[in-house]
């Protein structure tokens, strides 16, 4: 019997995927209704979300933006009830700026707008690198804009860093790296403690330049939290890196001091350190010394965050393969070059989630300063609710403050995810 063979000469036209695996139906099947158990959980969750929104949305969308008191809001809302947003309209500037003089609001606004400019070249590689010069100047510009006073104060403070660098270069050429590092730390401290104030006063007497000073007792609201948080974040990261390296140092004294500092700070609640900053530090200062309360709080918050940061970074250093250290040695790099070019970039990349979590936790912990009398947003809420017009309001005020903190913390979290994706070099 003769067999006939058939060979296809053209491909079949592709068919559409099943309806259950594409479009909205496919997404719902894959994410919400993949099996009976997930379908039940999805329906229960949707019912709970619907119930919450049905209660919250009518309460939120109440026509009380121009209410003058809680009683007036209740009259506007009627029996249905609702939020009283008049308190936010009346007090939102106070919640943002505290008791900062209203005619000087341009200074904190300019400070935090310039903060975005200073952070741009640090956070995003697409920004021109020349902006790094402004980033280096900003730490001295920020306190001058907020507190005011003589323009020579930040200039003299910057001279301390220049002095430390000069001392390092001079000593390094004759005595080596360790002696140079110690000299670079001691020289600026001596300059700031004993010579900076007389030098600033002398320059101000010769060329009087400055802006109106503002007392720290007028600081408050979200501006105070942002000031403490930004400065604490900026200072705790480099200090945490130094503590992490000190904990792994071969020098017994350096390692012991680093371990002792980290363990002591991590073993003490932050509120205890804030009470120390508020009451006990003045006891150890010379008589007549005026040690600014906000500066004391910033120092304690920075030290507290640096101790936790050191452990996060130490975890990143421990996760690196030993071969990376050996590769740096094989290239002939000294300790600091090896850390800057090989070790620390990889350790910081591994530690990004922990670093950002520490930043977010520290920023939220700035609300603890209300316990020692500083009027952060939570401290201001108590004074606002003590007003007879707004006595009894809770959710509107706390919700507004929570929204401000959520925006700041969520932004840090999203940037962390962006940075992780950008620095991901492994195989997908």
SS (H, E, C) 47-98: HHHHHHHHHHHHHHCCCCCCCCCHHHHHHHHHHHCCCCCHHHHHHHHHHHHC
Cβ–Cβ < 8 Å for 159, 125: no
pLDDT in tens, 349-381: 999 999 999 999 999 999 999 888 888 898 899
pLDDT for 254 equals 86
Out of 101-115, 232-246, 368-382, 396-410, least confident range? 368-382
Q: How many angstroms separate the CA atoms of 385 and 371, rounded?
A: 17
Cβ–Cβ < 8 Å for 218, 293: no
| pLDDT band, residue 425 (cuts 50/70/90) | low
What average pLDDT score do residues 274-287 get? Answer: 75
Q: CA angle 214-218-219, nearest 5°?
A: 95
pLDDT for 193 equals 84
pLDDT in tens, 162-188: 999 899 888 887 877 778 888 888 999
Q: How many angstroms separate the CA atoms of 241 and 336, rounded?
A: 12
Q: CA angle 224-225-228, nearest 5°?
A: 85
Is pLDDT larger for residue 206 or for residue 13? 206
Centre a 10 Å sphere on the Cβ of residue 31 and count the other Cβ atoms it contains: 10
| pLDDT band, residue 5 (cuts 50/70/90) | low
Judged by phi (left if over 0) then psi (alpha if -120 to 50, else beta), residue 309 lies in: alpha
> For residue 161, how many C-alpha atoms fall within 13 Å in the half-sphere facing its CB?
8
Q: How many angstroms separate the CA atoms of 1 and 153, rounded?
A: 107
| pLDDT band, residue 286 (cuts 50/70/90) | low
User: Cα 91 to the chain's mean position, in Å?
Assistant: 25
Q: How many angstroms separate the CA atoms of 28 and 23, rounded?
A: 9
Token pair, residue 364, equals 């939220």
Out of 165-174, 392-401, 404-413, least confident range? 165-174
> For residue 384, how many C-alpha atoms fall within 13 Å in the half-sphere facing its CB?
29
For the chain, the structural domain boundaries read: 149-211
Q: Does residue 19 have a pLDDT over 80?
A: no
DSSP secondary structure code for residue 127 in this structure: S
Is pLDDT larger for residue 294 or for residue 1? 294
CA terminus-to-terminus distance, the chain: 57
Judged by phi (left if over 0) then psi (alpha if -120 to 50, else beta), residue 82 lies in: left
Task: Tell me the percentage of the chain whose pLDDT exceeds 70.
Answer: 95
Helix ranges (DSSP H) in 106-176: 106-123, 132-147, 152-175
pLDDT for 182 equals 85
Out of 39-43, 253-257, 333-337, 381-385, least confident range? 333-337
| pLDDT band, residue 50 (cuts 50/70/90) | very high
pLDDT for 428 equals 45
Instruction: Give the containing element (helix H, strand E) for 211.
Output: strand 210-211
pLDDT in tens, 93-129: 999 999 999 999 999 999 999 999 999 998 888 888 8
Q: Does residue 211 have a pLDDT over 90?
A: yes
Centre a 10 Å sphere on the Cβ of residue 248 and count the other Cβ atoms it contains: 12
User: Cα 192 to the chain's mean position, in Å?
Assistant: 26
Task: For tokens 């005619």, name the residue.
Answer: 103
């Amino acid at each position: 019997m003769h067999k006939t063979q058939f060979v296809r000469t053209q491909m079949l036209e592709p068919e559409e995927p099943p309806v259950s695996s594409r479009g909205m139906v496919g997404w719902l099947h894959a994410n919400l209704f993949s099996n009976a158990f997930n379908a039940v959980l999805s329906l229960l969750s949707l019912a709970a979300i619907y119930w919450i929104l049905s209660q919250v949305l009518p309460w939120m969308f109440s026509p009380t933006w121009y209410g003058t008191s809680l009683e007036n809001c209740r009259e506007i809302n009627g029996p249905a009830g609702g939020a009283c947003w008049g308190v936010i309209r009346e007090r939102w500037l106070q919640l943002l700026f505290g008791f900062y003089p209203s005619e000087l609001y341009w200074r904190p606004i300019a400070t935090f707008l310039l903060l975005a400019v200073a952070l741009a070249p640090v956070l995003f590689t697409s920004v021109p690198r020349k902006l790094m010069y402004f980033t280096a100047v900003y730490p001295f510009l920020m306190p001058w804009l907020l507190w005011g006073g003589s323009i020579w104060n930040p200039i003299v403070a910057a001279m301390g860093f220049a002095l430390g660098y000069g001392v390092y270069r001079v000593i390094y050429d004759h005595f080596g790296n360790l002696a140079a590092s110690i000299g670079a730390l001691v020289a600026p401290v001596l300059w700031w403690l004993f010579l900076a104030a007389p030098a600033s006063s002398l320059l101000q007497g010769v060329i009087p330049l400055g802006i109106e000073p503002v007392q720290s007792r007028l600081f408050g609201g979200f501006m105070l939290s942002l000031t403490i948080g930004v400065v604490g974040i900026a200072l705790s990261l480099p200090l945490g890196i130094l503590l992490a390296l000190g904990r792994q140092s071969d020098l017994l004294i350096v390692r012991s001091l680093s371990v002792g500092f980290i363990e002591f700070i991590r073993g003490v609640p932050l509120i205890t350190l804030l009470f120390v900053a508020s009451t006990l530090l003045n006891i150890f200062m010379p008589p007549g010394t005026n040690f600014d309360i906000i500066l004391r709080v910033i120092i304690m918050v920075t030290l507290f965050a640096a101790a936790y940061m050191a452990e996060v970074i130490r975890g990143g250093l421990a996760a690196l393969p030993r071969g990376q250290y050996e590769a740096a040695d094989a290239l002939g790099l000294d300790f600091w070059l090896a850390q800057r070019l090989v070790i620390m970039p990889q350790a910081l990349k591994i530690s990004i989630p922990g670093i950002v979590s520490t930043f977010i936790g520290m920023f939220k912990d700035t609300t603890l300063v209300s316990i020692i009398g500083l009027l952060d947003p939570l401290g201001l809420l108590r004074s606002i609710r003590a007003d007879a017009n707004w006595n009894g309001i809770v959710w509107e005020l706390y919700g507004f403050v929570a929204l401000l903190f959520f925006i700041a913390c969520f932004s840090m979290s999203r940037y962390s995810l962006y940075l992780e994706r950008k620095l991901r070099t492994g195989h997908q």
